[in-house]
Amino acid sequence: MSNNTTDSPQLDLIAGVRYDNRFLEAHAGNRVLSDPKTAVVELIANAWDAGATEVTIDWPDGHGIRRFSITDNGCGMTADEFNARWRTLNYNRRSNQGGAIEWPPSLAKSPPTRYAFGRNGIGRWSGFCFGDSYVVRTHKQGASNVFRVTRGTDVPFEISHLKENEPADSHGTMISSESDFDTPISAEDARAEIGMRYLTDPNFIVRVNGEPVSFEHIDDPNIQKTKLSLPSGHDIELIAIDTQATARTSKQHGVAWHVGGRLVGTCSWRGIGTDDLIDGRKIAAKRFTFIVRADHLAEADAVKQDWSGFDMENEAFRESANAVYQQVRDRLLAISEDDRKETLAKATTKNKDKLASLGPRGREQWNNFITAAQEKCPSITERDMLRLSEIVANLEQAQSGYALLNQLSKYGPDELDDLNKLLEDWSLDMAKVALDEISQRLKLIEELQIRMNDPSTDEVQELQPLFKQGLWIFGPEFETIEYTSNQGMTRVVQDLFKAILPDGTCGLYAYPRYDEEGGEIGTDRLVVVELKKPGVKIGDEQKGQCWRYVKELYERGMLVSKVATVRCFVLGSSIDDLEASRRSEMEDTVWITPLLFDTVLQRAKSRLLKLHQRVQDAPFLQQHRDEIEKFLADVEVFEGDTVLFENTG
């Protein structure tokens, strides 16, 4: 622990806590602390995150240079910033500094956006790879500070402040070991390792023992250059770099576009639009880098003014991108063959029971589909591929086969996002129940509309069966499915209708009343739907007819006075203006309401929130409409068990 306790309040908070000597290895990883290649890559990443454009490395060569050091021209740190970052285990770079780096004030006013590699401060421990202690000299805002960082015994590390806020006219940071170091790799090996990872941006220069790192330093097995000739006559150089080792992340890997010796955008696996060339979690994504040299895109005005990317609609860029990304995909496809085979084997094991129920052709189709999906969609994760394999196995078993995929192929990105959101909020069974009910109600409205508006529909009894499934039109209290035709009431009323109802039809739908033990003991509610023929105007007489047969039901004991609730609806094409109001009987337990057919339709549409107008071109409605029109053209008479009686004379 440093003797200077005033500048280490965060360590004072854990006084008394002891750490095993292996703690730092467990925290930072053994490669960071013992592998010079990994250590120098991490330290260069820190310089990148500090906004450096030049990094100078002194690499021990056993002769003139004995100690390791790395110097950058980045922003540097104030004393407070150093203490906050170096003294905090698992320092969260993104939450404290953001994802984009801070550029030094000496750079241009509008430098390109650069995103940081660091996330949790692991790279700062790389200095311990070159000795048990190292010195950090950092300059910022006209002040220089020097710290010594030493591996501790009871604590992971100790920090002492050697020089505090001395005047300085530069910015940047230097990390140097305090003891001679006999590195197991040469300076040339270091250049090769650095070149495979830090040549994506031509404006980021790394020198090792005075010599700038270039593509020429990368060993032949690790680099391959390809010339791509475009139909337009332009040539592109594609440089593929294979580190032959898997990094911790896919950062500094991907495709980097160079135009006129300058990086366009960032190095990433992003293709045209939103498609990724490969899943960033796969081994290949953390191993390969592709450099594209396409200087002709500057003359083609394909680069955005701020160099943050390309104009995606530019023909020259699209021609170049299609050629480049196809080459990249082909190379990644060849490399990832073993990964694909392993994923296919996992998918086969996961779906073995379903595949066992398929015939040879079904299993072959499943295998071909998954193989093609892996090749066409290299960015898909293994987890999603296993899910897809399960879906395809289910499709092979389903009667509809791959018709679902054909339907999905017709959707655009926004529609697919909407479908995904729908399935997140609803289970398929729930959605089917709701949509089936809505579909039936929309079909009912469509059929009522066609029948009511068609002059050939002169027999109102054709409408009566529709109201058995359409009582919901008259109000929410009639939503229950327990309303049924009452045969006893039907016979009583039929005896009267020949005399009192020669101009229409009537349907009766009863809801039972129950005793305390759940047994039926009569009728609790009754809905009467009386339909008048076209030309019959609804007036006092028509309303009175309704009351006469309801009264007969009371007299026959089919209804209990003041206990049962009766709602009568008299429907027709016209209503006497003076009789348009509702009639009430039996101390308001019986209502008789006249309604126009058009009013009934409007009520039905309103109760479905105008949904009918919005989906009137839906296939299920069109099919239903064609069937009804054919039915009407053939002048068929539709009779159902809900038509309780009709005018026969």
Domains of the chain as residue ranges with CATH: 5-195 (3.30.565), 219-335 (3.30.230), 338-425 (no CATH), 436-633 (no CATH)
Tens digits of residue pLDDT in 16-42: 677 777 888 888 888 888 899 889 989
Task: Output the pLDDT for position 439.
Answer: 75
Residue 188 has pLDDT above 60, yes or no: yes
pLDDT band at residue 639, thresholds of 50, 70 and 90? Answer: very low
Buried b (16+ CB within 10 A) or exposed e, 567-588: bbbbbbbebeeebeeebebbee
**Residues 501, 542: contact at Cβ < 8 Å?**
no
Mean pLDDT of 166-174: 91
Task: Output the pLDDT for position 642.
Answer: 35
3-state DSSP: the chain helix, strand, coil percent, rounded to 5? 40, 20, 35
**Rounded Cα distance, 258 and 236, in Å:** 10
Mean pLDDT over each residue of the chain, to the nearest integer: 80
Residues 6+ apart with CB under 8 A from 138: 76, 77, 82, 144, 145, 146, 147, 172, 173, 174
| Distance, C-alpha 28 to centroid of its chain | 34
Task: Output the pLDDT for position 15.
Answer: 54
Higher pLDDT among residues 600 and 5, named by residue:
600
**Residues 516, 538: contact at Cβ < 8 Å?**
no
The neighbouring-strand residues paired with 69 are 58, 176
Which of 78-82, 355-359, 364-368, 503-507 is least confident?
503-507
Mean pLDDT of 245-252: 59
> Which letter does DSSP use for residue 189 in this model?
H
Higher pLDDT among residues 467 and 126, named by residue:
126
Residue percentage of the chain with pLDDT more than 70: 80
pLDDT band at residue 234, thresholds of 50, 70 and 90? Answer: very high
Kindly state the helix (H) or strand (E) to which residue 329 belongs, with its residue range.
helix 315-335
Chain position carrying tokens 């679902």: 404
Residue 458 has pLDDT above 80, yes or no: no
Residues 6+ apart with CB under 8 A from 206: 44, 54, 55, 57, 194, 198, 212, 213
Mean pLDDT of 590-605: 89
Higher pLDDT among residues 274 and 329, named by residue:
329
pLDDT band at residue 79, thresholds of 50, 70 and 90? Answer: very high
Burial class (CB in 10 A: 0-12, 13-18, 19+), 253: buried
Nearest to 55 by CA among 181, 173, 196, 214: 173
> Which letter does DSSP use for residue 465 in this model?
G
Tens digits of residue pLDDT in 570-595: 988 899 999 999 999 998 999 999 99
pLDDT band at residue 209, thresholds of 50, 70 and 90? Answer: very high
Q: For 440-503, list the strands marked E by DSSP.
A: 484-485
Task: Output the pLDDT for position 610.
Answer: 64
Kindly state the helix (H) or strand (E) to which residue 634 belongs, with its residue range.
none
Tens digits of residue pLDDT in 103-128: 888 775 666 778 777 777 888 899 99
Cα separation values, 573 from 531, 539, 582, 649, Å = 9, 12, 17, 21
Cα separation values, 380 from 94, 115, 278, 279, Å = 27, 24, 7, 6
Buried b (16+ CB within 10 A) or exposed e, 85-96: bbbeeebebeee
Q: Which of 136-150, 177-191, 559-573, 597-611 has the highest mean predicted lDDT (pLDDT)? A: 136-150
Residue 133 has pLDDT above 90, yes or no: yes
pLDDT band at residue 497, thresholds of 50, 70 and 90? Answer: low
Mean pLDDT of 188-215: 89
Q: Which two tokens stand for residue 596?
A: 């126009």
Residue 12 has pLDDT above 50, yes or no: no
Cα separation values, 202 from 53, 121, 234, 267, 567, Å = 10, 26, 22, 12, 84
Task: Output the pLDDT for position 44.
Answer: 92
Residue 502 has pLDDT above 90, yes or no: no
Residue 90 has pLDDT above 90, yes or no: no
Residue percentage of the chain with pLDDT more than 90: 24
Mean pLDDT of 180-205: 88
**Residues 200, 115: contact at Cβ < 8 Å?**
no
Residue 442 has pLDDT above 90, yes or no: no
**Residues 212, 53: contact at Cβ < 8 Å?**
no
Asked whether the CA dihedral 69, 73, 78, 80 is positive or negative, the reply is: negative
Residues 6+ apart with CB under 8 A from 381: 279, 281
Chain position carrying tokens 């240079």: 65
**Rounded Cα distance, 268 and 255, in Å:** 5
